């Protein structure tokens, strides 16, 4: 652990401190400063609360936020879309852990189990029009068709936005 030194009060000597204790000390000072500012009427309670929370919450242990193990909704690694949707609906959850023999393999969102319609674009559709259509349809992918209706590829909203927003080499 790295340490810093600060002059001891009134002496020319430097006392070592660790950066972690210095940052806690600064947070405590800032929290006091915010409380005093509110008490003196310099800031409102509405402004004081989020400031104080931003100074104190980093020290909150995740234990107070966790979903207890008994309440976790999970599916087996081999679960199909129907099972995922059933488990989520039965427990009122949209995010589920994927587990195998007590080991967490990952997580899945219920919306990922549903196939979404994919809009179709022609090869001549402009980037601007494609972005507009995908946003209207709340889609992230589109199939690209040629003049005879044959699929020639696909395009993602991310790729379209990157092309639209990033300058192109001349």
Give DSSP secondary structure letters for 86-128: HHHHHHT-SEEEEEETTEEEEEEEGGGGS-----EEETT--HH
Per-residue pLDDT, 18: 53
**What CATH class has 120-165?**
alpha beta
Distances (CA, A) of 157 to 115, 129, 144, 154: 17, 11, 13, 10
Q: What is the CATH number of domain 67-113?
A: 3.10.580.10
Q: How far out from the chain centre does Cα 122 lie? A: 34
pLDDT of residue 56: 75
pLDDT band, residue 125 (cuts 50/70/90): very high
User: Any idea where the domains of the chain sit in the sequence?
Assistant: 4-59, 67-113, 120-165
For residue 66, pLDDT over 70 is answered with yes
| Residue 108: closest CA among 83, 140, 138 | 83
% of the chain surpassing 70 pLDDT: 79
Distance CA 69, CA 16 (A): 43
Rounded to whole angstroms, how far apart are CA atoms 25 and 59? 12
Tell me 111's DSSP state. Answer: G
Domains 67-113 and 120-165 share a fold: no
Q: Quickly state the pLDDT bin for 165 (edges 50, 70, 90).
A: confident
Residue for token digits 């919306």? 111
Neighbours of 19 (CB within 10 A): 11
Q: Which H or E run contains 20?
A: helix 19-39
Give the CA dihedral 100, 105, 110, 111, nearest 10 degrees. -140
3-state secondary structure of 4: strand
Q: Is the pLDDT of residue 4 over 60?
A: no
Q: What pLDDT score was predicted for residue 20?
A: 53
pLDDT digits (tens, 9 = 90+) for 45-61: 898 888 887 887 766 67
Q: How confident is the model over 140-163, as pLDDT tens digits?
A: 899 999 999 999 999 999 999 988
Mean pLDDT of 25-30: 83
């Amino acid at each position: 652990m790295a340490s810093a030194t600060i002059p001891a009060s009134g002496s020319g000597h430097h006392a070592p401190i660790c950066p972690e204790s210095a940052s806690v000390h600064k947070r405590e000072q800032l929290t006091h400063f915010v409380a005093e500012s509110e008490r003196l009427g310099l800031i409102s309670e509405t402004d004081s609360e989020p400031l104080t929370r931003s100074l104190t919450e980093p020290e909150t242990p995740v234990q107070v936020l966790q979903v207890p193990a008994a309440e976790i909704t999970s599916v087996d690694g081999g679960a199909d879309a129907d099972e995922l949707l059933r488990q989520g609906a039965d427990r009122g959850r949209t995010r589920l852990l994927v587990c195998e023999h007590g080991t967490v393999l990952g997580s899945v969102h219920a919306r990922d189990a549903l196939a979404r319609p994919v809009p179709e674009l022609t090869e001549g559709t402009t980037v601007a029009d494609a972005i507009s259509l995908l946003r209207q349809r709340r889609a992230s992918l589109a199939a690209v068709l040629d003049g005879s209706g044959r699929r020639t590829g696909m395009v993602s909203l991310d790729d379209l936005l990157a092309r639209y927003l990033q300058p192109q080499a001349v």
